[in-house]
Amino acid sequence: ACDEDEKPSFFKSKAFLGIVTIFSVLMLAFPYYSEIFYPDNKKDIVVVSQSDIQTIKFDVEGMTCAGCEESVKHAVNQLDGILDVIPSYENKNTEVKFDNTKTSKEDIEKAINSTGYKVVHK
């Protein structure tokens, strides 16, 4: 009376379970390898005067992983005059070293805010 020869559907198979498991592991690990999707946008900077170099630390709200850091770093590095960007999701801030004759604090803040994370003023 029981049909044991009937093959289970694909969604009830071990192959489907394996595919879903691998996909889940890849998505959970995404913050650790997400930087490969951001191109290296380092550029040569010519500094005319050392007195024009300024370093500012921005408090940034919303960063939760290394992928968030790369997003902020990529957006800020697209501005002219940026020498170094050090984002930290653990410290919830981004330190930017830049030439103040080529870009401004407001431009950097706009670049950070354009990523979806928000610069917080204390």
Domains and CATH numbers, the chain: 53-119 (3.30.70.100)
- When pLDDT is averaged across residues 59-66 and rounded to a whole number, the result is 91
Q: Is the pLDDT of residue 3 over 70?
A: no
Please report, for residues 8, 36, 38, 84, the alpha-carbon distance to residue 42 in angstroms, rounded to integers and kept in the order given.
Answer: 54, 15, 11, 9
CA–CA distance, 11 with 17 (Å, rounded to integer): 8
- When pLDDT is averaged across residues 103-111 and rounded to a whole number, the result is 94
pLDDT of res. 67: 86
50 vs 79 pLDDT, higher one: 79
